[in-house]
């Protein structure tokens, strides 16, 4: 049985008796065991970070960027290995795993430009003989707590910018698929990163709490469910930390009567069912505007869903693979039954799907509901599986109101040919990220990622310049070099630059 250990001080570190099983979602077998650490393991990582941090802070941004360039090269060289490893523990198909890695690399590419991003502001002659300038400095030891659904992308979103800014980073990945984060840390070491600057501590809630409570960890970034995000935010802030905590989502796709329905159906099937729906930016709700639009959309959706191929992760022809474990499969099936009990029309039922030779795998077929109502609990909550719900809207106003009133506000999309409608929708909808004829509006790496309402807790978003701001603190210097002549200033009043 393969054991997955911590990565502390530049190498594998085995400690503790607690373990958790890591499954192969394709067949249901236990393929590895991951250690579940606690305070002592975290302290070992903090000690290693403290030893390495002064040298890394003293390393100029250009040299830090060179490590990022080398890391990018190594990840690209090893992407097939990383994708296979990721798929074997998560269940997503290989092509999707490569996309997971590639999307993380885009933030690494942004981090390669950190010398420019860290430049401060400068004012010459702010007062008589006085100049003012600012500088961005690292926080010190920081941490990230990442989810199972994107085990390559989210860690790179976090540690890429944080480390490039001069911090030491401690990563706590999901215990469901922990191998890829360790492999990324090994590649960072190979790229020239000093030991102790990127470390991986394995664990469950005990490790999370240890991170949130540790006085030397200055900031925490989290991605996961909203209830846990809120917990992380409250506990971390109470401990005096800077916290960004990204939560759940229930993203809507608004379909206007003038939309190209063939394109909409193509986009919807990928956005709703890709990665078995295990994406915070998936599109699990579609809102056709008007009965005519709804009927036409439904007519096209059913055969498109029937054509979807569910297969093992290594099946190059499969559109998506199994979900991550048996507990999550049961959770999704419970939501399907909930929606049936609430009165939703079950058009396509994905329960009971099996794959020959993989009968114990964690597979769920694509599921489609129609005539879902906004008061349904199954609509209000995040299902996080291959389930698409149709919520019919009578008007554009109702279509704006549905995502705006929902407890989550991560992403939303509108499909239309009408520029005025798109512009109006983007301006008015109460959601953090908007796509116009783009089903999954994840911003590019040099912009910023973050939702609203219960989809995010904290004031600063992820990656882009927002990421630089989160992982640094600003120091402002006001300087004067006297020429030796008396200034004649009154030293007992508040100084002004007038």
Q: What is the mean pLDDT of residues 394-402?
A: 98
For position 488, what pLDDT does the model report? Answer: 58
CA 2 to chain centre: 28
Domain boundaries 2-247+455-477, corresponding CATH code: 3.40.605.10
For position 491, what pLDDT does the model report? Answer: 64
Are 402 and 393 in contact, with CB atoms under 8 Å apart?
A: yes
Considering the chain, what percentage of its residues have pLDDT values greater than 90? 93
For position 17, what pLDDT does the model report? Answer: 82
CA distance 190 to 195: 10
437 burial (CB, 10 Å; 0-12 / 13-18 / 19+) is middle
- Of 262, 250, 248, nearest in space to 415 by CA: 262
pLDDT band at 432 (very low <50, low <70, confident <90, very high): very high
**Is residue 193's pLDDT more than 90?**
yes
User: Is 280 an active-site residue?
Assistant: yes
Candidate from 108-112, 124-128, 202-206, 411-415 with smallest mean pLDDT: 124-128
Name the pTM for this structure. 0.94
488 burial (CB, 10 Å; 0-12 / 13-18 / 19+) is exposed
Q: What is the pLDDT of residues 84-124, one digit of tens each?
A: 999 999 999 999 999 999 999 999 999 999 999 999 999 99
Q: Which helix (H) or strand (E) holds 164?
A: helix 153-164
Are 242 and 139 in contact, with CB atoms under 8 Å apart?
A: yes
pLDDT band at 229 (very low <50, low <70, confident <90, very high): very high
Q: Which helix (H) or strand (E) holds 287?
A: strand 285-288
Are 432 and 409 in contact, with CB atoms under 8 Å apart?
A: yes
**Hey, where are the domains in the chain?**
2-247+455-477, 252-436
* Phi/psi at 376 (5° precision): -65, 135
Q: What secondary structure does DSSP assign to 225-283, as a single string? A: -HHHHHHHHHHHHHTT-EEEEE-----EEEE-TTS-HHHHHHHHHHHHHGGGG--TT--
**Is residue 422's pLDDT more than 70?**
yes
- Of 466, 456, 460, nearest in space to 107 by CA: 466
Q: What is the mean pLDDT of residues 446-473?
A: 94
* Virtual torsion, Cα 79, 168, 201, 98, nearest 10 deg: -20
Considering the chain, what percentage of its residues have pLDDT values greater than 70? 97
Q: What is the pLDDT of residues 149-158, one digit of tens each?
A: 999 999 999 9
For position 486, what pLDDT does the model report? Answer: 65
Q: What is the pLDDT of residues 241-251, one digit of tens each?
A: 999 999 999 99
For position 483, what pLDDT does the model report? Answer: 79
Q: What is the mean pLDDT of residues 290-294?
A: 98
**Topology of the domain covering 252-436:** Aldehyde Dehydrogenase; Chain A, domain 2 (3.40.309)
145 burial (CB, 10 Å; 0-12 / 13-18 / 19+) is buried
For position 489, what pLDDT does the model report? Answer: 61
Catalytic residue among 112, 165, 280, 339: 280
**Is residue 381's pLDDT more than 70?**
yes
Q: What is the pLDDT of residues 35-79, one digit of tens each?
A: 999 999 999 999 999 999 999 999 999 999 999 999 999 999 999
Q: What is the mean pLDDT of residues 405-424?
A: 97
CA distances from 335 to 227, 324, 371, 483 (A): 18, 16, 16, 75
Count how many residues are written for the chain.
498
Instruction: Round the average pLDDT of the chain to a whole number and report it.
Output: 95
Q: What secondary structure does DSSP assign to 61-105, as a single string? A: HHHHHHHHHHHHHHHHHTHHHHHHHHHHHH---HHHHHHHHHHHH
């Amino acid at each position: 049985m393969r054991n997955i250990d911590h990565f502390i001080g530049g190498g594998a570190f085995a400690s503790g008796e607690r373990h958790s099983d890591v499954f192969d979602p394709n067949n249901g077998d236990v393929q590895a065991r991951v250690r579940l650490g606690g305070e002592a393991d975290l302290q070992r990582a903090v000690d290693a970070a403290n030893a390495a941090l002064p040298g890394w802070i003293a390393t100029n941004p250009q040299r830090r960027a060179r490590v990022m360039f080398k890391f990018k090269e190594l990840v690209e060289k090893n992407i097939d290995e990383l994708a296979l490893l990721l798929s074997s523990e998560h269940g997503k198909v290989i092509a999707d795993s490569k996309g997971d890695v590639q999307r993380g690399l885009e933030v690494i590419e942004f981090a390669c430009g950190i010398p420019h991003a860290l430049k401060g502001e400068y004012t010459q002659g702010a007062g008589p003989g006085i100049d003012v300038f600012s500088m961005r400095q690292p926080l010190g030891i920081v941490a990230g707590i990442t989810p199972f659904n994107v085990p390559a992308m989210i860690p790179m979103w976090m540690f890429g910018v944080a480390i490039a800014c001069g911090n030491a980073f401690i990563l706590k990945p999901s215990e469901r698929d922990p191998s890829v984060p360790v492999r990324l840390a090994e590649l960072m070491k190979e790229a020239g990163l000093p030991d102790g600057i990127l470390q991986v501590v394995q664990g469950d809630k005990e490790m999370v709490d240890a991170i949130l409570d540790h006085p030397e960890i200055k900031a925490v970034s989290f991605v996961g469910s909203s209830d846990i995000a809120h917990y992380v935010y409250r506990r971390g802030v109470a401990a005096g930390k800077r916290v960004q905590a990204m939560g759940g989502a229930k993203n809507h796709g608004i379909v206007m009567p003038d939309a190209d329905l063939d394109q909409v159906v193509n986009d919807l099937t990928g956005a709703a069912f890709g990665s078995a729906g295990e994406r915070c930016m998936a599109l699990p709700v579609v809102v056709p505007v008007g009965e005519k639009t709804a009927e036409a959309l439904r007519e096209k959706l059913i055969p498109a869903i029937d054509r979807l191929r569910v297969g093992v992760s290594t099946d190059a022809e499969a559109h998506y693979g199994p979900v991550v474990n048996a507990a999550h499969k049961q959770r999704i099936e419970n939501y399907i039954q909930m929606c049936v009990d609430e009165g939703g029309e079950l058009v396509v039922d994905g329960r009971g799907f099996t794959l020959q030779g993989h009968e114990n795998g964690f597979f769920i077929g694509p599921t489609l509901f129609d005539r879902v109502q906004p008061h349904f609990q199954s609509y209000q909550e995040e299902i996080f599986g291959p389930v698409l719900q149709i919520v019919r809207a009578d008007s554009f106003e109702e279509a704006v109101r549905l995502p705006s009133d929902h407890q989550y506000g991560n992403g939303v999309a509108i499909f239309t040919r009408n520029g005025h409608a798109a512009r109006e929708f983007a301006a008015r909808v109460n959601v953090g990220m908007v796509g116009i004829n783009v089903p999954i509006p994840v911003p590019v790496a040099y912009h910023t990622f973050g939702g609203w309402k219960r989809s995010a807790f904290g004031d600063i978003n992820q990656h882009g310049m927002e990421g630089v701001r989160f992982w640094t603190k600003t120091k402002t210097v006001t300087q004067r070099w006297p020429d030796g002549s008396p200034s004649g200033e009154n030293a007992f009043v508040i100084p002004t630059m007038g």
